Amino acid sequence: MATIRDVARAAGVSTSTVSLTFGEPSRVSDETAQRVWEAASTLGYRPNPLAQSLKRGHSRLIGVTVGDITNPFFGRLFKHVERNAHEAGYHVIVTDTDAQADREEQVLAQLDAQRIAGIILTAHGSGPHYTSHLERLKAPVVTVDHRVPGTKLDYVASDTRLAASIITEHLVRLGHRRIAHIAGTPHLFTAGERIAGFVETMRRNGLDVDHSLIVDGHFDYENAYAQTMRLLTRPDRPTALFAANNMMALGALQAIFELGFDCPRDISLACIDDVPWSSVIRPKITMVEQDIPELARIATDYLVSRMSVSGRDAPPRETILTPRLVMGTSTAPPPA
Residues of the shown chain interacting with a copy of itself in the complex, contacts defined by CB under 8 A: 1, 46-51, 53-54, 59, 61, 68-70, 72, 75-76, 78-79, 82-83, 86, 91-96, 110-111, 113-115, 138, 221, 250, 253-254, 257, 276-277, 279-282
Q: Which is nearer to DNA, 24 or 208 (CB)?
A: 24
Considering only CA atoms, which of 64, 119, 76 is closest in space to residue 291?
76
Report yes or no: 141 and 123 within 8 Å, Cβ to Cβ. no
Which ranges of the chain would DSSP assign to H, the alpha helix?
4-11, 15-23, 30-43, 49-56, 72-87, 101-113, 128-136, 160-173, 189-204, 221-232, 246-258, 292-307
Considering only CA atoms, which of 122, 107, 110 is closest in space to residue 67?
122
Partner whose footprint covers residue 203, from DNA, a copy of itself, none (CB < 5 to 8 Å by kind):
none
Tell me the three state secondary structure of residue 24: coil
Residue type, 155: Y
- How many other C-beta atoms are found inside a 10 Å radius of the C-beta of residue 95? 17
Report yes or no: 90 and 101 within 8 Å, Cβ to Cβ. no
Q: Which stretch in 11-19, 64-72, 75-83, 187-195 sits in contact with DNA by CB under 7 A?
A: 11-19
Considering only CA atoms, which of 164, 189, 192, 144 is closest in space to residue 317?
144
Q: Which is nearer to DNA, 115 or 237 (CB)?
A: 115
Considering only CA atoms, which of 242, 285, 271, 272 is closest in space to residue 145?
272
Q: What is the spatial distance between Cα 61 and Cα 71, in angstroms, rounded to a whole number? A: 24
Q: Which is nearer to a copy of itself, 277 or 310 (CB)?
A: 277
Partner whose footprint covers residue 228, from DNA, a copy of itself, none (CB < 5 to 8 Å by kind):
none
Q: Which stretch in 12-20, 146-154, 164-172, 299-307 sits in contact with DNA by CB under 7 A?
A: 12-20
Q: Which stretch in 22-30, 170-178, 182-190, 198-206 sits in contact with DNA by CB under 7 A?
A: 22-30
Q: Does 25 bind DNA (CB under 7 A)?
A: no
Interactions with DNA, residue window 30-59 (CB under 7 A) = 31-33, 45-48, 50-52, 54-57
Partner whose footprint covers residue 178, from DNA, a copy of itself, none (CB < 5 to 8 Å by kind):
none
Q: Which stretch in 23-31, 117-125, 169-177, 252-260 sits in contact with DNA by CB under 7 A?
A: 23-31
Q: What is the spatial distance between Cα 198 and Cα 180, in angstroms, rounded to a whole number? A: 10
Interactions with DNA, residue window 55-114 (CB under 7 A) = 55-57
Site size for DNA, by CB under 7 A?
33
Partner whose footprint covers residue 276, from DNA, a copy of itself, none (CB < 5 to 8 Å by kind):
a copy of itself
Partner whose footprint covers residue 207, from DNA, a copy of itself, none (CB < 5 to 8 Å by kind):
none
In terms of Cβ atoms closer than 10 Å to its own Cβ (0-12, 13-18, 19+), residue 31 is exposed
Report yes or no: 219 and 247 within 8 Å, Cβ to Cβ. yes
Q: Which is nearer to a copy of itself, 56 or 152 (CB)?
A: 56
Q: Does 4 bind DNA (CB under 7 A)?
A: yes
> In the complex, which residues of this chain contact DNA (CB under 7 A)?
1-5, 12-20, 22-23, 27-29, 31-33, 45-48, 50-52, 54-57
